Structure formats: C-alpha cells, structure tokens
Amino acid sequence: GELERIDVLVANAGILHNASIDRLTGHDFERVVATNLGGVFNSVKAVLPVMLARGSGRIIAISSMAGRRAYGGAAHYAASKWGVIGLVKDIALDLAPTGITVNAVCPGSVNTPMAVNDDLVRRFRPDLDHPTMDDFKAEMAKFHPQRVPWVEPVDISRTVLHLASDDARHVTGDVLTVSAGMMARNSS
C-alpha cells in the first residue's frame, strides 16, 4: 500500500571494497558508487513525496570519514562518500523552505564487521606474521585523539537520533562527524 506518513529517513546502506586505482575495475567502481551514493538518492526520492505533502521530515544520510579525508586504496568508496555529502548539502538547500531537514553523519572507524575484521587486522599490521586483535586495537587507537580504537554503533545511532529530533529542527545541510576526535586534525 501507499505510505501516509514518513517522519525520518536514515539512508545507511553502504559497501566497502578496497582496491588501489591500478587494480580498480569499472564494475567495482560502478557497484560501490551505485550502492553508496545512488542508494541515498533513490531513498530520498522514494520518501520525498510523502514528506513534502506533510511539510516536514528528517533525512539523514550516512557518509564516512572517507567522505572528508582520503585514506588511499579505495578511490571509489571515497568518491561515493564525498558524493553523499555533496548530495546532502544540495538537497538541503532545495528543501530548506519545506520543513524538511537533510544532514549527513560521518562515522570514523566503527566496531562493525566492515571496520573490524581479520583482513583489516592483517593489512594494518603487515609487520607481524600473526597479528592479533589487540595488535590491531593498539594501531587503530593511534588514529584517534581520544585513544580508542573505534567508536561503537550506539555512538552513531545517538547522533542520528539527535538529528531526527526537534532539537535539531534548524540543523540542515550539515555534516556531523563521530570519529573520536579524528576531525580535529582537519581544517574543515
């Protein structure tokens, strides 16, 4: 049936694929960009008629720290996540007069299988024959001024809940980063 009311959209689908530019295929580029950036666009288009009819709504897209700074080895992932930020900012301007807010959340390393897995443990500690999770944690903590290896999923959820609340009714076109202080090293 038809949806009568949609208050909040959280566009959170995403895939990560690592490949240096010399090994990156067109297929992998298109697949990552279609999912990570195209997924946000398609989700917004799906809920927009209902939100516009009601004159209110909250749209929150999940980008990534890779959308604010490059890491190497994943140009397609970075491009898709930078694209999410640009998409959010432009849509926010389009919808600002309508009562609909549009924002992005940029998680840093989050304790999920995408960011905490055996493959990454090996890649982060190539100097060790058999790196352990403790070795990985110690290396990851170096990236975060708060000296934690990663943030927890609930830290991202709380930020999303804030953006979905009436407390954030005048926050639109913004990018909130949850990265244990990593953005303090960037100029913007």
- What long-range pairs does 79-87 form, CB within 8 A, spacing at least 24? 79/33, 80/14, 80/32, 80/33, 80/35, 80/36, 80/37, 81/14, 81/36, 81/106, 83/33, 83/36, 83/37, 84/36, 84/37, 84/40, 85/175, 87/37, 87/40, 87/41, 87/61
pLDDT digits (tens, 9 = 90+) for 46-65: 999 999 999 999 999 999 98
User: Which of these, 93, 88, 6, lies nearest to 48 by C-alpha position?
Assistant: 6
Confidence of residue 188 (pLDDT cuts 50, 70, 90): low
Residue 57 or residue 133, greater confidence: 57
Give the residue-averaged pLDDT of 81-105.
Answer: 98
Residue 4 or residue 109, greater confidence: 109
CA 162 to CA 177: how far, in whole Å?
Answer: 13
Confidence of residue 149 (pLDDT cuts 50, 70, 90): confident
Confidence of residue 185 (pLDDT cuts 50, 70, 90): confident
CA 112 to CA 62: how far, in whole Å?
Answer: 14
Confidence of residue 136 (pLDDT cuts 50, 70, 90): confident
- Active-site residues, by number, are 77
124, 77 Cβ separation under 8 angstroms? no
CA 131 to CA 122: how far, in whole Å?
Answer: 6
Neighbours of 184 (CB within 10 A): 11
Residue 113 or residue 153, greater confidence: 153
175, 68 Cβ separation under 8 angstroms? yes
Give the residue-averaged pLDDT of 127-146.
Answer: 88
SS3 (DSSP) at 20: coil
CA 20 to CA 142: how far, in whole Å?
Answer: 23
Q: What is the pLDDT of the chain when averaged over all its residues?
A: 92
60, 164 Cβ separation under 8 angstroms? yes
